[in-house]
Amino acid sequence: MTLLEGSVGVEDLVLLEPLEQEPLLRNLQLRYEKKEIYTYIGNVLISVNPYQQLPIYGPEFIAKYRDYTFYELKPHIYALANVAYQSLRDRDRDQCILITGESGAGKTEASKLVMSYVAAVCGKGEQVNSVKEQLLQSNPVLEAFGNAKTIRNNNSSRFGKYMDIEFDFKGSPLGGVITNYLLEKSRVVKQLEGERNFHIFYQLLAGADAHLLKALKLERDTSGYTYLNQKVSRVDGMDDTSNFKAIQSAMTVIGFSEEEIQQVLEVTALVLKLGNVELADEFQANGISASGIRDRRGIQEIGEMMGLKSEELEKALCSRTMKTAKEKVVTALNVIQAQYARDALAKNIYSRLFNWIVNRINESIKVGTGEKKKVMGVLDIYGFEILEDNSFEQFVINYCNEKLQQVFIEMTLKEEQEEYEREGIPWTKVDYFDNGIICNLIEHNQRGILAMLDEECLRPGVVSDSTFLAKLNQLFSKHNHYESKVTQNAQRQYDHTMGLSSFRICHYAGKVTYNVNSFIDKNNDLLFRDLSEAMWKARHPLLRSLFPEGDPKQASLKRPPTAGAQFKNSVAILMKNLYSKNPNYIRCIKPNEHQQQGQFLSELVAVQTRYLGLLENVRVRRAGYAYRQRYGPFLERYRLLSRSTWPRWNGGDREGVEKVVGELSLSSEELAFGKTKIFIRSPKTLFFLEEQRRLRLQQLAMLIQKTYRGWRCRAHYQLMRKSQIVISAWFRGNRQKKRYGKIKASVLLIQAFVRGWKARKDYRKYFRSGAALTLSNFIYKSITQKFLLGLKDNLPSTNVLDSTWPAAPYRCFHAANQELRQLFYRWKCKKFRDQLSPKQVEILREKLCASELFKGKKASYPQSVPIPFCGDYIGLQGNPKLQKLKNGTEGPVLVAETVKKVNRGNGKVSSRILLLTKGHVILIDTKKSQAKTVIGLDSVAGVSVTSFKDGLFSLHLSEISSVGSKGDFLLVSEHVIELLTRMSRAVLDATQKQLPVTVTENFSVRFKESSVTVKVIQGPEGGRNGKLSCKKKGSRGLEVTV
């Protein structure tokens, strides 16, 4: 076994020193707190439930443990599963994996992990994958019908399960066989406070759809069922609805037909409804008490679902028929007896249904008899139990654990002995506690407790739990592992914890006191023949098949075997099965009672280690040599401790190992050399080797560090020397380059002066006359070309609002630069206009017209620029009356809005609707929606408007027109800019004349034969609020404040 550096605590308890309870618990706690939940005892795996998901599972870890042997990596359930599978596949040895522990210790999860690992590493293929899927899907189905929430565990298995997985010669799964043991059927009718019934009842009520519930005659509310604990209907972290869907899917994958699934659910519903059958007191004519059904509707529904008349079912529940060879006697049952019969029927139906489901799964996953196969068994069974009140169930459970402990001790010793014989090591007998005497006390065919219990159940006369206890006291009064109040009194011992109706057995895991009350009833496990016959008469096919003994043709007066006898036979078959296989053990421990992650209660764990016999396991494993290892790996690990084998050894592995241990002067009593392995007796010797190896590693590390530091310094020196040479060479070269550069520059300067002198001399001689003009033209063309190319590369954006333009570099280009600027701007504008739609062009023309009329003249103009002209401000389309007026006009309405008309005589204002068309201005009464005045555009002589932000304007009409004879109009508009702009354009289109628009604060308004002078003054608000007031100034004056 490899000792891993950095491991937490001791990974294999065989190497624990000292070998006592406290160090063992401290080691488990230390590893648990570091999330190391697995520990070895040799090839036995201890698993402490972490109550959380740890990142140590999945395909990555499966691949990791698949490629290594058992001790090469950290302890893990995958390592144990891998050893079992490889031994089965490669060595052709049948395997079994025994998983034991208390409820809540993680047995079910451990069995799932083993099966998932085996499914992942075995062969592939469509048929193989189908078999693997069926084997894996059997788990959720059995959990639903066989698991329940208990005080200790939210998903506690209430039955023992042994699954034989069968493989072909390649190691691919072919199928399997499941055997179940001792379902806790009493849970069907009664649960402790804080516990639930079996999961399937809650999953059915929560997950079934309304149609299914109606077909099963069920209600979704769990509080309506007597057999369900009302206080605990939900479990944290468990979704009953989705689990029900998963169960239906799993049953389909396994091979259940739709009809079979429906029948299973119907029988499950029958059990629930049986609990709601209320029984009432009745009296026969002779005064003898009897019983009857209180609620007729409930019994009728049950009868309909069974396919049985309700009268026959009521008779079977409320009476009992005693048959002899000569006569038949019918006895009425009182209420208590009838309730017992009802509950017994419910328990038997559910128990037989569970057995039927197991058998049905076996039919789907069974292997043909002709195929040669290898077998791996997985045993997930209840651990040793010591409760406050221990009854018949705890008795048989602890009996099973006694047998498993016996198997473990015998097979471990056998395995040790076989290994010693293979290696040629002398085997010395190991002293250990043989619990065969306890097993014999319970299972002896003539003088065992189970035999006495069966004898008492079969004995005629008055039989009770007390007579059974008296027989035990008489038979085992001097047995060293049996105690009771009677035996203690005989030995003058006083123990207040021992009751008068109790006896105690000294099991391997500790003393357990059993209460004999109900031992007889639970062992008998009787179901009245009337109920069996009634169930057989039912027309429901599945329910009928569950009670074959109800067939009158097969009726037998022979008493059925007792529960104890059946369980004893099952255990005997299981033990025979286990003895025929190579065992692998997983011991599951729960660290606390509250399912809290990170909490480790030493007292609770100590009790479980005693129940599981962990210390006894270690002692048996260490009875001879505590540690053994093959020569090759041992030499590889420890060869550095000998100068002969380090750093290189060319001899054999065994000779190398002998050299190593010889130089360490180890005692010959501590060592034994086998054929392929070295054996070390004491863990202290192994720890001494590890300590020497650690010190040697430190020495080697220092040697490596010293050598490395010397090499690094030498390499650094060589690098610095080389760098210095390079730097010197570069410096000298650079200095010479600079000197050469100065010489070259001087030479070039001299050459330039000489060439210039010669050129000037030749120029003066030949080219002086026309050189100036040529040079100036060349220079001007060059700078012109440079200017134009630079302008090309620096043109501003094509946005018409962008007025930027590059400045001319020289004054001579100023005029040309301005001309180019104008050309570029016009080109941008043309390009912008070409992109406009006709509608956008029209809008811009209107805005241009408004700009020509009012820009810089009227204060309200800037506010109108960003606002598009709307035209219709009165909802012309939605007003039928105005539509009629509109239809009478020619062309479209350019402007429609509500204006205020100022009375020229008294200054009062009144509302009017103004419609501007291409030919007229129409003023309409707002109340009557009738045209008051229609003015042709050819009659409009001009418009006067103020420069303020108000909407006041005067519409001057020509005197020769019919409307103009009445005088001009003084109006107020909220959209005066838009109105006058469109009126100006309409007049221009209609008369081909420009409409005079005068911006002034003083203007005359014609009134019939006379005129009124209007003076507009600005108020405190500056005309922004839109209000105006008029005041008469004599007979010919009107002052308007805006």
> pLDDT, tens digit, for every residue of 650-679?
888 889 988 888 888 888 888 888 888 888
Residue 133: closest CA among 144, 146, 145, 122: 122
Calculate what percentage of the chain has a pLDDT beyond 90.
Answer: 21
- Is pTM beyond 0.75 here? no
The verdict on whether 103 is a catalytic residue reads yes
The residue-averaged pLDDT of 263-279 equals: 92
pLDDT at 4 (0 to 100): 46
pLDDT at 359 (0 to 100): 93
The residue-averaged pLDDT of 539-553 equals: 86
695 token code pair: 């010190």
Is residue 227 within 8 Å of 343, Cβ to Cβ?
no
pLDDT at 2 (0 to 100): 41
Output the average pLDDT for the chain: 85
112 sits in which H/E element: helix 107-121
pLDDT greater than 80 at residue 460: no
Considering 39, 156, 291, 390, which one is annotated as catalytic? 156
| 3-class SS letters over 287-336 | CCEEEEECCHHHHHHHHHHHCCCHHHHHHHHHEEEEECCCCEEEEECCHH
The verdict on whether 22 is a catalytic residue reads no
Question: What is d(CA 244, CA 208) in angstroms, rounded to the nearest whole number?
Answer: 7
Residue 197: closest CA among 160, 271, 147: 147
Query: 398 or 509, which is more confident?
Result: 398
> 35-49, 543-557, 721-735 — which one is most confidently predicted on average?
721-735
How far separated are the first and last CA of the chain, in Å rounded?
108
Question: What is d(CA 1014, CA 1012) in angstroms, rounded to the nearest whole number?
Answer: 6
The verdict on whether 157 is a catalytic residue reads yes
The residue-averaged pLDDT of 673-697 equals: 85
Question: What is d(CA 54, CA 76) in angstroms, rounded to the nearest whole number?
Answer: 12
For the segment 783-798, what is each residue's pLDDT rounded down to a tens digit?
888 888 888 888 888 8
The residue-averaged pLDDT of 32-36 equals: 92
Question: What is d(CA 862, CA 219) in angstroms, rounded to the nearest whole number?
Answer: 78
pLDDT at 964 (0 to 100): 60
pLDDT at 753 (0 to 100): 94
Considering 157, 348, 609, 973, which one is annotated as catalytic? 157
pLDDT at 292 (0 to 100): 83
pLDDT at 623 (0 to 100): 67
pLDDT at 877 (0 to 100): 75
Is residue 861 within 8 Å of 854, Cβ to Cβ?
yes
Q: How far is CA 44 from the centre of its chain?
A: 34
The verdict on whether 385 is a catalytic residue reads yes
Strand partners, 898: 913
Is residue 541 within 8 Å of 312, Cβ to Cβ?
no
The verdict on whether 401 is a catalytic residue reads no
For the segment 116-131, what is each residue's pLDDT rounded down to a tens digit?
888 888 877 677 777 7
Q: What is the CA radius of gyration of the chain?
A: 55
Categorize the per-residue pLDDT at 285 as very low, low, confident or very high, splitting at 50, 70 and 90.
low
**Lowest-pLDDT choice from 3-7, 83-87, 559-563, 726-730:** 3-7
The residue-averaged pLDDT of 721-739 equals: 95
Question: What is d(CA 614, CA 9) in angstroms, rounded to the nearest whole number?
Answer: 17
The residue-averaged pLDDT of 493-514 equals: 86
pLDDT at 924 (0 to 100): 86
pLDDT at 1033 (0 to 100): 78
Please, what is the Cα angle at 91 between 90 and 92, to 5 degrees? Answer: 95
The verdict on whether 978 is a catalytic residue reads no
Calculate what percentage of the chain has a pLDDT beyond 70.
Answer: 94
Considering 278, 385, 423, 1001, which one is annotated as catalytic? 385
Query: 633 or 231, which is more confident?
Result: 633
The residue-averaged pLDDT of 1024-1040 equals: 75
pLDDT greater than 80 at residue 294: yes
Please, what is the Cα angle at 75 between 15 and 71, to 5 degrees? Answer: 70
Residue 58: closest CA among 140, 116, 129, 137: 116
pLDDT at 141 (0 to 100): 93
For the segment 930-943, what is each residue's pLDDT rounded down to a tens digit?
788 888 888 888 99
Categorize the per-residue pLDDT at 732 as very low, low, confident or very high, splitting at 50, 70 and 90.
very high
- DSSP helix/strand/coil, 988: helix
pLDDT at 798 (0 to 100): 82
Output the DSSP codes for 114-180: HHHHHHHHS--SHHHHHHHHHHHHHHHHHHHHHEE--SS-TTEE-SEEEEEEEE-TTS-EEEEEEEE
The verdict on whether 776 is a catalytic residue reads no
Question: What is d(CA 231, CA 229) in angstroms, rounded to the nearest whole number?
Answer: 6
Considering 39, 43, 82, 108, which one is annotated as catalytic? 108
Output the DSSP codes for 592-661: -SS--TT---HHHHHHHHHHHTHHHHHHHHTSS-SEEEEHHHHHHHHGGG-TTTSS---S-HHHHHHHHH
Considering 101, 104, 160, 550, which one is annotated as catalytic? 104
pLDDT at 349 (0 to 100): 93
Could you give phi then psi for residue 276, rounded to 5 degrees?
-90, 0
Give Dmax over CA atoms of the chain in angstroms.
Answer: 168
For the segment 524-535, what is each residue's pLDDT rounded down to a tens digit?
877 778 888 888
Task: List the alpha helices (DSSP H) in 147-281.
Answer: 199-207, 210-215, 240-254, 258-274
Considering 100, 111, 147, 153, which one is annotated as catalytic? 153
Categorize the per-residue pLDDT at 150 as very low, low, confident or very high, splitting at 50, 70 and 90.
confident
Residue 270: closest CA among 230, 229, 225, 233: 225
Categorize the per-residue pLDDT at 264 as very low, low, confident or very high, splitting at 50, 70 and 90.
very high
pLDDT greater than 50 at residue 1: no
Considering 383, 674, 964, 1023, which one is annotated as catalytic? 383
For the segment 186-244, what is each residue's pLDDT rounded down to a tens digit?
889 888 888 899 999 999 999 999 999 999 999 988 888 999 977 777 888 889 999 99
Residue 526: closest CA among 343, 382, 656: 343
Categorize the per-residue pLDDT at 771 as very low, low, confident or very high, splitting at 50, 70 and 90.
low
Considering 103, 412, 609, 860, which one is annotated as catalytic? 103
- DSSP helix/strand/coil, 930: coil
pLDDT at 729 (0 to 100): 95
pLDDT greater than 80 at residue 177: yes
Query: 296 or 369, which is more confident?
Result: 296
